[in-house]
Structure 1
Amino acid sequence: MAKGPVMGVAEVEAYLGEVFPQLLADGRVYTIEAVGPMTARMRMRAGERHLRPGGTVSGPAMMGLCDLALYVAILAQIGPVGLAVTTSLGFNFLRKPGPGDLLAECRLMKLGKRLAVGEASLFAEGADEVVCHATGTYSIPPR
């Protein structure tokens, strides 16, 4: 498929705002920081609603960021395909991130006509160690 992004950050954000307006229901929690060839970087401003007892960002919040960041990486490569859907996700929670922003670094390992496979690594802002690693597979509908 594509060798580089066909949509930039502003285009992907505009598309997500159009097809997933619920992402903006509580203000801008997710920000796309960059897209590149087979890559994306996103930020989640983890607020009080994203925390679990013990003051750490919850697993479901981290899972959502991974899924969205991988979807962004795919959209940037293939364009506005709303029905590209998650078919599987696997997570390894490695460390407890404290309150604060999380950064997702994504890389697509395979991008075919019907399937995309990628991985996402989450980092607490300012930290070098991965707090969560995810792999995902996404089904791409025929054009």
Structure 2
Amino acid sequence: MTSHQPIMTLEELRAFFDREFPQIHEGGRTYHIEAIGPLSATMRMDYHDRHLRPGGTISGPAMMGLADLALYAAILAQIGPVALTVTTNLNFNFMRKPDQRALIAECRLLKLGRRLAVGEVSIFSEGSSDIVCHATGTYSIPDRR
């Protein structure tokens, strides 16, 4: 893990999500892993009515799900397909109302240890550089012995 290069390819990670979490695509595919890199991942959530709250804005729970998935993707890209890696903490700051278009989540891992990973996610409306949501999260990584 010291090289910080992903050990899963983008296609392997996408196949893992499709196999292990087909429910995230129920009603149509809206979550997409766009890129992975050293200690990072980028995800996209297509704009869709099912992600809206009253008033026509993208809901907080939709942004929370996107951030959580981005953290999971960044971690698994680094450690491999360890399905039982789980969220232990998430913190969200909603900065501004997102536009009615796709959201882009850029995740960066701040710490990747044997048992814990800590990362941050910045979410943007597609085409904008203004952060609509900032999240931090911690994941527990199971013993892989």
Query: Under TM normalisation by the shorter chain, which class is it?
Result: over 0.9
- Residue 11 of structure 1 corresponds to 12
Q: Percent identity?
A: 64
- Return the alpha-carbon distance in structure 2 between the equivalents of residues 52 and 23 of structure 1: 18
1:34-87 CA deviation, whole Å, 9 max, x = no partner? 000000000001200111122210000000000000000000000000000000
The range that moved more, 87-96 or 8-17, is 8-17
- Return the alpha-carbon distance in structure 1 between the equivalents of residues 5 and 92 of structure 2: 27
> SS in structure 1 opposite 2:68?
helix
Give the gaps of 5 or more residues in structure 2.
none
- Residue 90 of structure 1 corresponds to 91
- Return the alpha-carbon distance in structure 2 between the equivalents of residues 96 and 26 of structure 1: 25
The two structures have a TM-score, normalised by structure 1, of 0.97
- Return the alpha-carbon distance in structure 1 between the equivalents of residues 9 and 41 of structure 2: 10
The range that moved more, 58-67 or 23-32, is 23-32
1:95-132 CA deviation, whole Å, 9 max, x = no partner? 00122100000000000000000000000011111000
The range that moved more, 59-68 or 49-58, is 49-58
**Counterpart contact for 1:51–1:99, Cα < 8 Å:** no
- Return the alpha-carbon distance in structure 2 between the equivalents of residues 111 and 34 of structure 1: 18
The two structures have a TM-score, normalised by structure 2, of 0.96
> SS in structure 1 opposite 2:47?
coil
Q: CA RMSD in A?
A: 0.8
Give the gaps of 5 or more residues in structure 1.
none
4+ runs of 1 displaced by more than 4 Å?
none
Letter in 2 for 1:96: K
- Return the alpha-carbon distance in structure 2 between the equivalents of residues 86 and 141 of structure 1: 11
